Structure formats: structure tokens, C-alpha cells
Amino acid sequence: MALEDATVGLVGKVLDNWLLVGITLGVMVLASYLMQMTSVLKTLPAAISKAEFTSFPLIHVENVSHNTKLFRFGLLHPRQSLELPIGKHISVLGYDENNEEVRRPYTPTTLADTLGHFDLVVKIYPQGKMSQIFDKLTIGKTLKFRGPMGRFKYEPNMKAFFGMVAGGTGITPMFQVIKAILENPHDKTKLSLIFGNITEDDILLKSELDGFQRTHPDRLEIFYILDKPPQGWTGGRGYVTPEMITERFGEPSDTNMILSCGPPPMKKALKGHLEKLGFTDDMLFEF
């Protein structure tokens, strides 16, 4: 009986030792894999360059509204990110039906750390040269991109408050900044957005924006304005007014900044309103 117990004990120790060896080897293999992946990521070239255009293939398309689509482009490596600083945009190069070069600026709605792809939300205009190039693009076909571009440099908590005025597709740089601020637990910046469109169907990224507002009611306020509101509409009507600005953004302050992006007439009118209200040029940035 003693011999049997000794044998069982010995077998148990052997099994324990083999289990320990197995765990050790597993940890070593995992550590080696992680080191290799880190090395691969460090040696990956930047996904995009400001000096020259890089081609990326279209990998996904979906309708956002009746005249707007989301176009997703794949990066060259699934572990790459666009690494586009917040507030920056990219230049897109394509060729029209006459093989003539067309370039336009766009702001991705994905953040800098999104891996393997980036998204562009594009409004399709019947006579828009670049939007028609996007609309005719099929899965697997490429466009060329260059960046980062732009003068705006965002840093967490650089201002206590951002007042934002966007019109139509001008929402995309605002969306990028809003998303980055609210997803950063260390960023305490408060935000107020005035977003103008023609009809309710034209409001881009509304479900995402409303989701941000529900999740962060103490930090984000959104006021929608329509030129042609439907019956029962409870938001704003017409155009941005000085009264709306004062109510939503408060008085001019060095700790606040106003960001705007939209059609030229909107930006011109907004600048005039802000000047009359006492906002100085360094308190306004136009994308």
C-alpha cells in the first residue's frame, strides 16, 4: 500500500512538473509572438504620407442617407492605422470620366488609432466631380490619398469649451473632434454643436451624434437647424443667428474656441455674427 501511495505521489509530481513546463513554454511562445508583432508594427511604414499620394482600395460601401454614402478604404496592412492627428484632413486624388485629375479635401470619420481601414462620408452631388468619382467606384478599385493636411492642431484640454457650427458635410471634422474628445477619459472639454441642414433627411451621422449626446449629456449639447423643417419639428429653423450663438456658446472668452465648417455663405455670415458679438480672430477656426 505504501509503495502504491509513493507511486501515485511520484506520478503526481511528474504531471505537475510537466504542467509547469507546458505553462512556461506557452508563456514563452506568447511572449515571443508579442515581441515579433511589436517588431512588425515598429517596422511598418506610415500608412499615408504628406509628400506623395498612396493608393488604397475600396473595401466597403453603405448608404448613410438618401444622398450620402460611407466609403471604407483598406490600408496596406491590417495592423496599420492612418495615424491622422485630430483636426487634420487628407487630400483625395481621382480621375473623372475624361481622365482628368480631380483633388478634394476630406476628413475621415474614423480616429487615428483605427486599425486596417479608414472611413469617409461623402455627399453625392449630381454635378460634383469628386463625389461622382466616389459614387462610381466599385469594391477593389483604388483612389489616391495624401496627408495629413490642415492647420488645426488639437491637444486634449487645450480649451475648456468648443462651440461648433457645421453645415451639411461640414460635420465630418466636427465629428472627428467630438469623438476624440469624448472617447478620451482624460479630456474634460465641453462641447456645443449647432448643425444646419436643408431637410431632416440631410442630417449626416445623426444617430452617432445623438448617441454621443445620450452618453455624455453633461459635456455635449447639439442643436439642429433646418431650412425646410417637417411638421412638428422642435429644433431650429432657418439660419444661424447671433442669438443662437450667445445662447449656445456664451460670451467670448480666451478659454473657449469656435470651430466652423460648411458652405462659404454660412462661414461668412457666422464670422460677421461673431465679430459683432466680440469674438476675436484667434477665437475662431475655420476648417
160-184 pLDDT, tens digit each: 999 999 999 999 999 999 999 999 9
User: 3-class SS at 222?
Assistant: strand
Q: Which positions are annotated as active-site residues?
A: 89, 106-107, 261
* Model confidence pLDDT, tens digit, residues 261-270: 999 999 999 9
3-state secondary structure of 287: coil
Per DSSP, helices labelled H in 44-128 are none
C-alpha cell at 16: 505537475
Query: Which residues have CB under 8 Å from 60's CB, separation 6+?
Result: 70, 71, 72, 117, 139
pLDDT confidence tier of residue 65, bands split at 50, 70 and 90: confident
Give the model's pLDDT for residue 2: 55
CA 7-9-12 angle, to 5 degrees, is 110
Maximum distance among all Cα pairs of the chain, rounded to whole angstroms? 100
Please give the C-alpha separations between residue 230 and each of 233, 237, 266, in angstroms, as whole numbers. Answer: 6, 10, 22
pTM greater than 0.85 (yes/no): no
Average pLDDT over residues 245-258: 96
Q: In whole numbers, what is the pLDDT of the chain averaged over residues?
A: 89
Q: Is the pLDDT of residue 99 over 60?
A: yes
